[in-house]
Chains A and B, each alone.
Chain A
Amino acid sequence: MNVIEIKNLVKIYNSGEVKVKAVNGITTHFEQGEFTAVVGPSGSGKTTFLNMIGGLDRPTEGEVIIDGSNIWNLTSRQIIDFRMNNIGFVFQAYNLIPVLTAGENVEFIMHLQGKPKKEREQRTKELLEAVGIGDRIKSRPGKLSGGQQQRVAVARALASKPKFILADEPTANLDSVATTGLLELMAEMNKKYNTTFIFATHDQRVMDKARRIITIEDGKILNDEKFDR
């Protein structure tokens, strides 16, 4: 089943006189339960691509069709709500609200969604335990290591029961032990909840785990391979 369908996606940035074609006509689709890495050299358009899928950056042309309709036909308020209910994000950094504890960070998304308190608390506990830091539920992000923070971010991304999770270089700030740990965690979550994961990455270790690798260069898909892992 297709989760996301992408049609001829183009993004042109006007930086001064020069027009930068960050994404230059990408057409593809993602299916339920994919574990996909988007790779390519720096500046190839990975982040731009993910941001357009995630409703963060408006395409110059093309469509991002989720559940049969183009998300870019929504109003900006609707897009925010759409993101909240359908997409989980894991960014490279600044993922967590620093004044909220790990538990509150996870719970808050469900709070925004209007889930009842009991369900929120139970799911928060379950998710933090699943990502391996159940004992740090009351810690603020500043008291957690980079790896632990990213684990909370994954738990939070899963909390809203999204259709898919977008992760832009989630391991870029982590050492190799933390990277391996986080990758294993995401692979496990992918299996456990059958949630679609799409990464942008430079990291060979991430690529080694991916079951599909989309290679982008100059804003175009150069290669799209599937692996049985």
Chain B
Amino acid sequence: MKDNLKIAWRNLWRNSRRTLITAASVFFGVFFAVFMSSLQVGSFKNMVDNMVRFYSGYIQIQGEGFRENRSLNQSFVAGKSLDSLVHLQKAVTQTTQRIESFTLASFGNNSSPAMIFGIQPEKEEAISGVSKWLSAGTFLQPGSKDILLGKQLAENLGVSVGDTAALIGQGYHGLSAAGIYKVAGLLDFPLPELNRRIVYMNLATCQDFFSMPDRITSYVIMIDEVGHLKKTVASIRPSLNNELRIYSWEDLQPQLVNLIEGKLAAGKFIKGLLFMIIGFGVWATVIMMMYERKRELGVMIALGFQKTRIFIMLVIEAMLIGLIGVIAGIVVSYPLVRYLFYNPVHVTGKMAETYRSMGFEPLIAFGKDTGVFLMPALTIFIIFTIIAFYQMWFVARLKTVDALHI
């Protein structure tokens, strides 16, 4: 083995320029793939984190059918036993309860449909940091009966902080719901749809409004990391009574899952194409390395080298090129990606607006999961394994006589 390695290594440097160019193409592929994967992993994590924090939480417990119908009749009482069941899970970090429904908001002669959120202000704040969007007035105080409105909604209604707006809707089991509430503050969300529609109030106020004491529509759960999602869901699910359903963020935000999957597929396609081009380049080099030495290899067999030995030598030569490229690619990309992981790029200007309008932090985040490095390295290894089969075929066909006929 040591001798095979020695001969293979020296053979590599017979045409050092070609070896270096080939290794450089592998390096480039690995570097590009690592960078691209890191960017994808980072931005998806950022995206999911933002969306999950703001909308759904990682996990939600809802009444059966609420996800489809969003009817208050599918609300439920989150008792102590549910609380303790959820908090028994190690991964669970925070929980909060919500009522999510619809209503009509009006002021004077103006009215507008609105999405109403009954929230637990402190807990909600801890999860979504919603108060950072406050543009006027004060945030919901615990026990307060005031409301917060989306900025655009307030403008459409012509209402400002301190005014009293009316909410009219349909409560639990068809009871009519109506009330007047003082506007404590305005929220300026980056998402226009939210800005136009949202009404926040204390959960208790909301329960009063809809005549559904103690009842909620959504029990929101946050966990320490995405990796624990499936396990947590799976261990809560069997203990729920049969009127309740548990969902992960993927169930609740299928459009986000689609978006990510689409981008991942596109990324895979690009990387696949790149690796295919590199693969053919490497293959061409390997072909040259073998054909130009046909005679030499024939002589080696004549002298007593078994074909397996020749094959091993040739595979080592090719693999060494791949190894040089992969190691160089990771050595260069790792520090870069690591740096970008800890120092994400802050987007400014128009780009930042675009990010905000989609509800994301204006950050280009990077990931440094093992997979980011492992996948390109593995792909290169697979390419060289395929090439090794070609080399095997080449060696099997080598005939000493043909090689020796000059």
Spell out A's residues near B (CB within 8 Å): 47, 51, 54, 56-57, 77, 80-81, 83-85, 89, 91-95, 97-100, 108-109, 111-113, 156, 160, 168
Contact = CB atoms under 8 A, between A and B. Distances in A.
B405 A80 contact: no
B301 to A, nearest CB: 7
Given A84-B304, A112-B303, 5 more contacts: A80-B305, A84-B303, A99-B7, A100-B7, A100-B10
B327 interface: no
Interface residues of B, number: 21
A187 to B, nearest CB: 23
Interface of B: 3, 7, 10-11, 14, 295-296, 299-307, 400-401, 404-406
B364 to A, nearest CB: 48
23 contacts: A51-B401, A54-B302, A57-B400, A57-B401, A81-B304, A83-B302, A89-B299, A89-B302, A89-B303, A91-B299, A91-B302, A91-B404, A93-B295, A97-B7, A97-B300, A99-B7, A99-B14, A100-B7, A100-B10, A109-B303, A111-B3, A113-B304, A156-B303
A98 B301 contact: no
Nearest to B9: A99
A94 B299 contact: yes
A99 B303 contact: no
A99 B10 contact: yes
B296 A94 contact: yes
Chain B CB count within 10 A is highest, among A77, A108, A168, for A108
Nearest to B300: A97
Nearest to A93: B406
In the A-B complex, the 10 residue pairs with the smallest Cβ-Cβ separation, listed nearest first, are: A84-B304, A99-B10, A57-B401, A94-B295, A56-B400, A112-B304, A94-B299, A99-B11, A56-B401, A80-B306
Nearest to A82: B304
Given A56-B400, A98-B296, A80 B7 contact: no
B299 A56 contact: no
A77 B405 contact: no
B14 A98 contact: yes
B10 A83 contact: no
Q: Which of A51, A99, A108 lies at the interface centre, i.e. has the most chain B CB atoms within 10 A of its CB?
A: A99
Contacts of B302: 54, 56, 83, 89, 91
A57 B307 CA distance: 16
B304 A80 contact: yes
B102 to A, nearest CB: 79
A31 to B, nearest CB: 24
B307 to A, nearest CB: 8
A108 B4 CA distance: 11
Contacts of B295: 93-94
A213 B164 CA distance: 123
B405 A47 contact: yes
